[in-house]
Amino acid sequence: DIQMTQSPSTLSASVGDRVTITCRASQSISGWLAWYQQKPGKAPRLLIYQVSSLESGVPSRFSGSGSGTEFTLTISSLQPDDFATYYCQQYSSVWTFGQGTKVEIK
Amino acid sequence: QVQLQESGPGLVKPSETLSLTCAVSGYSISSGYYWGWIRQPPGKGLEWIGSIYHSGSTYYNPSLKSRVTISVDTSKNQFSLKLSSVTAADTAVYYCARVGSSGWLGYWGQGTLVTVSS
């Protein structure tokens, strides 16, 4: 299976900060990557698919980039509603997720 | 608006079979898309279990394939998961979801916690 490794595991930030989360694949996944946001007790919410396509209704402060094996999710200006755990997912072969990045209030 | 709702027993005994159903509203399964199951052990990350097309074509995670069966009932607009020979390691919140055109998961159910315990 393709392993997805996110960094950092935990990120402490303040409202207004620019935040970047990295996801690395153990082999090339081309552009088959999505990002999700999950809040406690809730289902994940799709933010971005195909590396950089913003899901309908998702604020434009979220963006994605990358190719091959390295990808990033960027939040341009962190808002109070953004404190959550973020997961990447590859769907190149057997679908796998990263271990998650928890964005905490600094 | 597409909505998914999981249902099934919240407690299953070890060695027995876990059975869950996902009822879909706001979209006809027969119209297309793959539909999938994902699980999340308490405090841990997400694991894809498998997916099914309205025609019945399935795609399973190889790590679970020997124990998983996913089926679809288009007349009831729902799909189901069966996981056999469960152990405590199968304790998790189980989600159903609609799969986007290439593999992303655009619509999710709220999830249901299944505990494996005697």
How does pLDDT run across A51-62, given as a tens digit for each residue?
A: 999 999 999 999
Question: Is any Cβ of chain A less than 8 angstroms from the Cβ of B9?
Answer: no
| B89 backbone dihedrals φ, ψ, rounded to 5° | -65, -15
Q: In B8-104, where does DSSP find H-type helix?
A: none
Looking at residues A14-28, what average pLDDT do you find? 97
User: Does B102 have pLDDT greater than 90?
Assistant: no
At residue B54 the predicted structure's pLDDT band, cuts being 50, 70 and 90, is confident
At residue B71 the predicted structure's pLDDT band, cuts being 50, 70 and 90, is very high
Q: Measured between beta carbons, which residues in chain A are less than 8 angstroms from residue B111?
A: 43
Q: Measured between beta carbons, which residues in chain A are less than 8 angstroms from residue B61?
A: 94-95
How far is the alpha carbon of B63 from chain A, nearest alpha carbon, in Å?
A: 10
Question: Is any Cβ of chain A less than 8 angstroms from the Cβ of B95?
Answer: yes
Q: Which residues pair with A86 in a beta bridge?
A: A37, A101
What per-residue confidence (pLDDT) applies to B101? 83
Question: Is any Cβ of chain A less than 8 angstroms from the Cβ of B103?
Answer: yes
